Amino acid sequence: MDKFLRVNMTTKELKTEAAPEKYAALGGRGLTSQFVLDEVPATCEPLGPFNKLIFAPGLLSGTNAPSSGRMSCGGKSPLTGGIKESNSGGTPSQKLANLGYKAVVIEGKATAGELYLLKLTADGAELLPADYLAGKGGYETVRVLQEKYGKKTAVIFIGPAGEMQMPSAGIGASNIEGLGDRYFGRGGMGAVMGSKGLKAIVIDAPKTFDVPVKDKERFMAASKKFAKILLDHPVTGQGLPAYGTNVLMNIINEAGTLPTRNFTRGRFDDANMVGGESLAEACNARGGKATHACHPGCVMRCSNVFILPDGTQMGKIEYETAWGFGPNAEINSLDVVGELNYICNDAGLDTIEAGATLGVLMEAGVVPFGDGKAAIEAFKEVAKGTPLGRVIGAGATFAGKLYGITRVPTVKGQAIPAYDPRSCRGNGVTYATTPMGADHTAGYAVTANILRVGGFVDPTKDEGQVDLSRNLQIATAAVDSTGLCLFVAFAVLDNPEALPTVVEMLNAMYGLSLTGDDVVALGMSILRAEREFNKKAGFTKEDDRLPEFFYNEELAPHNTKFALKDELDEVMNF
């Protein structure tokens, strides 16, 4: 894993080089964020020739470390105007690592109308015309490419939304079943890929777990130990495997912090109808899969395969997706949620942004609250690129602007998901201050606020939230560099042996002697790099605030407002 591939979409030149020395110890988010700071002009037009898109497997990706198949995608976001690291599971990370690539960088910009495919094999890299894929949905793109290049190839792709450069277009990734349902969802990186004229990357690697490891025996021992740690924790060993992330629906509803009807209250009477238990039941009843690994070697298996009413095998429904198309839209049908999810996956749209956008458009009266059929009809416009489709694909901030709506749950232009900041204040601090724009995964304070993992911090009080979010953001940035799924954090927070075991895997793999402190230092340096980029791009502390309505409207049932303002500036004080 020491090759750097640079693909210049202007000149069509491909250059494979040794990874620059300064990136030798970096992988995943640590690599993408430093690279973006180094090579992308912070004030550049995100869809212009000066932005760069970088894919980097995590440091442990491509080994048999459990749940280590995550990849980071970095660049300047057309949605936030700031730095972006978007993270996905699926099959590409391990395959890319096994071809020896530390990073693939897409530079320049093809002439408008050109469309290309990047093919990576053990023999090297090739850029091929891909006009036959123009306008194709994500599911079909993966199907066509795996038929052409082999069922075991991994595929990274964009759908029509990315080709049309919609600000909330994501980049998709194939899953184990060959479904295009995994996503580098957030921040509009699909639009960046579309702007460059790149439809897909096919990765044909014979191996999945064979990335070189310095001390194999030591590594295997640590890896085995880490798998056991994950399986022993109630969340990663039981909750997630049984019901997936959507196990959260009833928990968050019970906690009264489930944003309902575009963030006007914190509880939805019909939450259970779109929750994890109902989802598992439906998956089992229809011949889908209630539990499922998004990439080989994941022991948490939090994913699922849902079957649409017409029999279409769809891939997973995540909690945040079920929330956005469910409670946030006052929709209580899992089938409607599934169909909206399918439309978004196929068009290539971030489902979190899409769910928040639906809530805003419902508030604007474009689609009635609770009307699943109307929502589905509206979302079919996305792939057609009609004005309504463009509005949906633009995301919640733009939709709010166009319709004069002020209850728009976004920070730095990116939608707040599934946990209301007024009664899950630790998450509110993360939404406001992460350099990514509102993002629950950047510092998931739901752990201590709601799940009582890693201690307890009262979610309706301000005390302790700043420290909680800071520590989580630092830890998360480090985890996002390893290729490990963020969900390992549940175990890391509760089991003192977990972090040393991760460090042991890294040391055994790279012949290093890192300590836990080095991991913390890495997390801090990543956040510093990201903040520096955003500062250069023109961000100030005013961008580290929640929208006005969170400070002025009470949320039932706790009837609390968000109040943290200047304290937020202390989050990044380290």
Residue ranges that bind its own copies, judged by CB under 8 A: 42-45, 47-48, 50, 78, 164-167, 191, 194-195, 366, 386-388, 390-391, 393-394, 398, 401-404, 406, 536-543, 545, 547-549
Q: Which is nearer to its own copies, 70 or 109 (CB)?
A: 109
Number of Cβ within a 10 Å radius of residue 351: 28
Minimum distance, C-beta of residue 331 to its own copies, in the bound complex (Å): 21
Minimum distance, C-beta of residue 318 to its own copies, in the bound complex (Å): 26
Distance CA(168)–CA(189), nearest Å, equals 8
Q: Which is nearer to its own copies, 164 or 205 (CB)?
A: 164
Distance CA(565)–CA(432), nearest Å, equals 9
Q: Which is nearer to its own copies, 80 or 321 (CB)?
A: 80
The token pair at 77 is: 């976001």
Minimum distance, C-beta of residue 337 to its own copies, in the bound complex (Å): 24
Assess contact for 96 and 3: CB atoms under 8 A: no
Please, where are the H alpha helices in 40-123?
92-98
Minimum distance, C-beta of residue 164 to its own copies, in the bound complex (Å): 6
Q: Which is nearer to its own copies, 110 or 509 (CB)?
A: 110
Q: Which is nearer to its own copies, 311 or 387 (CB)?
A: 387
Assess contact for 354 and 365: CB atoms under 8 A: no
Minimum distance, C-beta of residue 381 to its own copies, in the bound complex (Å): 8
Minimum distance, C-beta of residue 404 to its own copies, in the bound complex (Å): 3
Assess contact for 233 and 258: CB atoms under 8 A: no
Best CA proximity match to 550, nearest among 384, 423, 426, 447:
423
Half-sphere exposure of 557 (CA within 13 A, CB side): 9
Q: Which is nearer to its own copies, 209 or 403 (CB)?
A: 403
Assess contact for 313 and 179: CB atoms under 8 A: yes
The token pair at 324 is: 């956005």
Identity at 18, one-letter amino acid code: A
Q: Which is nearer to its own copies, 46 or 276 (CB)?
A: 46
Measure the CA dihedral 394/395/397/403, to 10°: 70
Hey, is 301 helix, strand or coil? coil
Residues 90, 92, 93, 94: is their CA dihedral positive or negative?
A: positive
Helix crossing, 28-39 with 516-536: angle to 10°?
30
Distance CA(96)–CA(546), nearest Å, equals 38
Minimum distance, C-beta of residue 262 to its own copies, in the bound complex (Å): 14
Minimum distance, C-beta of residue 496 to its own copies, in the bound complex (Å): 42
Minimum distance, C-beta of residue 43 to its own copies, in the bound complex (Å): 5
Q: Which is nearer to its own copies, 42 or 240 (CB)?
A: 42
Q: Which is nearer to its own copies, 19 or 189 (CB)?
A: 189
